[in-house]
Amino acid sequence: MHGQIDWSELLTPDPEAAKTFYGTVFGWTFSSMPMPQGGSYWVAMAGDQPVAGIMATADVGPDTQPQWFTYIATDDVDRSCEAIVSGGGTVLQAPWDIPYVGRIAVVMDAQKVAFGLMTRS
C-alpha cells in the first residue's frame, strides 16, 4: 500500500449534520470512538467496511478549517518524515502511535499542502 491513499477524515464544525448528509447520500452508518483529548471520532461505514472518519474542527484546534483530510500509506512513517524534510517539506505533527490503528504523522509538502502519513499496525 506504500504511496496509496489510505484514509480520509472530514473535519467539520457540525459532525451531526455531516453524518446526516453522508448517511443520506451514501448510506453510511457511523460508530463513535472517544478521543483521548475529548470529543468523539466517528467512523463512517459502508456496509461492514470502514471508509472514512468524521471529527469536529473544535476537537482539532481553534483555527481548523472544514475540510477533507487525506492520509497516504507509507511503509515507515518516521523515514517518510525524514524524506519530506529533505525534499523541502515540513513535519507539522511528529509521528505518534494510535492504538489498534498504527503510526501517523501530519506533514506539509514543499508547496505548503498538508496531508497525513499512516503506517497501519
Do residue 59 and residue 81 come from a single domain?
no
Do residue 28 and residue 56 come from a single domain?
yes
Do residue 45 and residue 95 come from a single domain?
no
Do residue 38 and residue 86 come from a single domain?
no
Q: Which domain holds residue 86?
A: 74-121
Pairing of strands 67-73, 114-120: parallel
Q: Looking at the domain assignment, is residue 34 inside a domain?
A: yes
In 3D space, the residue among 88, 89, 86, 96 whose CA is nearest the CA of residue 118 turns out to be 96
Report how many domains make up the chain. Answer: 2
Q: For residues 46 and 116, what is the distance between their CA atoms, to the nearest angstrom?
A: 22
Q: Which pLDDT tens digit goes with each residue over 25-71?
A: 999 999 998 887 888 999 999 999 999 999 999 998 889 999 999 99
pLDDT greater than 90 at residue 88 = yes
pTM score, two decimals? 0.88
Q: Looking at the domain assignment, is residue 89 inside a domain?
A: yes
Do residue 92 and residue 51 come from a single domain?
no
Q: Looking at the domain assignment, is residue 1 inside a domain?
A: no
Q: Looking at the domain assignment, is residue 2 inside a domain?
A: no
